[in-house]
Amino acid sequence: MSMLKGIAASNGIAIAKAYRLVEPDLSFEKREVTDVEVEIKRLQDALLVSKQELEAIRDQARVDLGADKAAIFEAHLLIVDDPEMISPIKDKIKAEKVNPEQALKEVTDMFISMFEQMDNEYMRERAADLRDVRKRILSHLLGVKIVNPSTIAEEAIVVAEDLTPSDTAQLNRKYVKAFTTNIGGRTSHSAIMARSLEIPAVVGTKTATDEIQDGDLVIVDGLKGEVHINPTQEAIEQYKKEQIRFEEQKAEWAKLVNEKTVTADGQHVELAANIGTPDDLVGVMNNGGEGVGLFRTEFLYMGRDELPSEEEQFESYKAVLKGMNGKPVVVRTLDIGGDKELPYLHLPKEMNPFLGFRAIRLCLEEQEIFRTQLRALLRASSFGHLKIMFPMIATLNEFRTAKGILNEEKQKLINEGVQVSDNIEIGIMVEIPSTAVMADQFAKEVDFFSIGTNDLIQYTMAADRMNQRVSYLYQPYNPAILRLVKMVIDTAHKEGKWAGMCGEMAGDEMAIPLLLGLGLDEFSMSAPSILRARSQILRLSKKEMEDLAKKALQMSTTSEVLEAIKTTIK
């Protein structure tokens, strides 16, 4: 048995066999072959296995993901069977005496570049299909395994170098019991998604993919940030007990689902949830969310090949607003960029994607995308209590321009006779230090602030939130961060506005006492954290937390602050 230490990214304990989600090595050399018949037989075998595999994946996808997701595998099957594709490969092997790998590459390269040059969007997508199928056939020729997260069909713990948010969205929760990655931090989006999916995760282990083989028995301890590989029977038994204890604790918290969140000295704060899609509403309800404090709409744009239409978006926003039954829903406009990519936008690669062309910067430039989203939101506004917020605002001008565009779309809809709520609050994420510092000016113009500490901490400390080597600098309790948070809350209150927080800090057990003391009005977190936070806040006195916050603001290091929190709440 061996153990890896990583960052505890999502609570809970899972025990299952490992499934490595690792890009295979599909490199090969061109070579001259002597027995052409043997090589053609190798190609035919690879085609046959690919076909059988695709049929099985398609059937499974129909059951788990629905007919339209399964259709993509139907298209792949047509390629494997297409004589116009296969015959030239065989001809090449015969005529040029090259190995099937090389013949496959040359013929498919020719078709791919032909498809890619066509004007027709449909044909360009066929190029992507062909690449996928080629990879599958090649993997069988070379005898290496290719992986696809959506096709995992037995209980497993996913082991990967990293998971993109769209990989994470495709994980089938029924089978994927946990995941562990080499890189990433607590606020990388795969970690955030693991928390809303309620699957345990340990990220930033550095070496998980080197040390864990397919089929190894693995324990992921998302409470301590440990991964145990091929544990002893004794360790397994002990962890099974831990699992039960964790479930019992959750059952205790569940009793608070319909309670209000009021401190021991009678102050109410709002506990809201962060969501990514309308499907997450079940979790918000089951965990007693008093609202949605952050709807990360970019997830509606992921795991697909084109932008969602206004109509599709309208249906999603309407579903969330109606589902929340009049409770507030803060929808954040598209925040693409950083670790959240949309391949179909074909944006150029950047040196520093977290500092690049993203979020509101992209929306103000690509206004059609922005306007479509705003129209969908405005049309949905009459179905519930909508608040809109813009991400990554760095200057007042950006806010004014974004709000101007929103108002233009609103007026157009009203002129068209569409019903739009006249009661929509417009706010911003405070996640860039310039905005925190200028909060007094912003507070005069916005209706609310939501502090995005995931980014605010990375930008203030100049420490990439994805990079585990600098994760020691991800310090929510650093007095520098606390002072910025205080400035934002105080300036909001001075102008009669409210201040919330939707970064991961809002759900952090150690940070909650401080945030309460700093006067935060709304705490928005992954739904499964809400009941634990409520149980904690019910026991805290706001007055005492104010004293704690006051002292913390004058301290000089994170560890002093942490010590002070521990002594106050113990």
- In the complex, which residues of this chain contact ligand PEP (CB under 6 A)? 187, 294, 296, 335, 431, 452-455, 502-503
Which residues in this chain contact Mg ion in the complex, by CB under 5 A?
A: 431, 452, 455
Burial (CB count <10 Å: 0-12, 13-18, 19+), residue 389: buried
Q: With respect to ligand PEP, which residue has the nearer C-beta, 102 or 435?
A: 435
Q: With respect to Mg ion, which residue has the nearer C-beta, 283 or 391?
A: 391
Secondary structure of residue 225 in the 3-state scheme: coil
Q: With respect to ligand PEP, which residue has the nearer C-beta, 140 or 195?
A: 195
Give the pairing of strands 328-332 and 292-296: parallel
Q: Which of 76, 140, 189, 228 is labelled catalytic?
A: 189
CA nearest to 530, candidates 146, 187, 250: 250
CA nearest to 164, candidates 193, 135, 129: 193
Question: Is 363 an active-site residue?
Answer: no
Q: With respect to ligand PEP, which residue has the nearer C-beta, 175 or 354?
A: 354
Q: With respect to ligand PEP, which residue has the nearer C-beta, 178 or 502?
A: 502
d(CA 248, CA 446): 43
Q: Considering the complex, what minimum distance in angstroms separates the CB of residue 413 from ligand PEP? A: 28
Question: Is there a contact between 441 and 406 (Cβ–Cβ < 8 Å)?
Answer: no
Among Mg ion, ligand PEP, none, what does residue 296 contact (CB within 5–8 Å per kind)?
A: ligand PEP
**What does the buried/exposed string (b/e) look like for 346-382 if buried means 16 or more CB atoms within 10 Å of the residue's CB?**
ebeeeeebbebebbbbbbeebeebbbbbbbbbbbbbe
CA triplet 79, 85, 86: central angle to 5 degrees?
Answer: 100
Q: Considering the complex, what minimum distance in angstroms separates the CB of residue 431 from Mg ion? A: 5
Q: Considering the complex, what minimum distance in angstroms separates the CB of residue 37 from Mg ion? A: 59
Q: Within the chain, how many helices (H) and strands (E) appear?
A: 22, 16
CA nearest to 449, candidates 428, 465, 423: 428
Among ligand PEP, Mg ion, none, what does residue 524 contact (CB within 5–8 Å per kind)?
A: none
Q: Which of 76, 363, 385, 502 is labelled catalytic?
A: 502
Q: Considering the complex, what minimum distance in angstroms separates the CB of residue 187 from Mg ion? A: 8
Please give the biggest Cα pair distance in the chain. 86
Q: With respect to ligand PEP, which residue has the nearer C-beta, 164 or 454?
A: 454
Within 13 Å and on the Cβ side, how many CA atoms surround 225? Answer: 15
Within 13 Å and on the Cβ side, how many CA atoms surround 57? Answer: 24
Which helix (H) or strand (E) covers residue 98, if one does? none
Among Mg ion, ligand PEP, none, what does residue 287 contact (CB within 5–8 Å per kind)?
A: none
Give the pairing of strands 156-160 and 7-10: unpaired
Among ligand PEP, Mg ion, none, what does residue 10 contact (CB within 5–8 Å per kind)?
A: none
Among Mg ion, ligand PEP, none, what does residue 108 contact (CB within 5–8 Å per kind)?
A: none
Residue nearest to Mg ion (CB): 455
Among Mg ion, ligand PEP, none, what does residue 409 contact (CB within 5–8 Å per kind)?
A: none
Q: Considering the complex, what minimum distance in angstroms separates the CB of residue 275 from Mg ion? A: 15
Q: What is the DSSP secondary structure assignment for residue 32, as one 8-state letter?
A: B
Question: Is 493 an active-site residue?
Answer: no
Q: Considering the complex, what minimum distance in angstroms separates the CB of residue 430 from Mg ion? A: 10
Q: With respect to Mg ion, which residue has the nearer C-beta, 398 or 409?
A: 398
CA nearest to 190, candidates 207, 175, 178: 178
Among ligand PEP, Mg ion, none, what does residue 502 contact (CB within 5–8 Å per kind)?
A: ligand PEP
Q: Considering the complex, what minimum distance in angstroms separates the CB of residue 242 from ligand PEP? A: 29
Active site (catalytic) residues: 189, 502
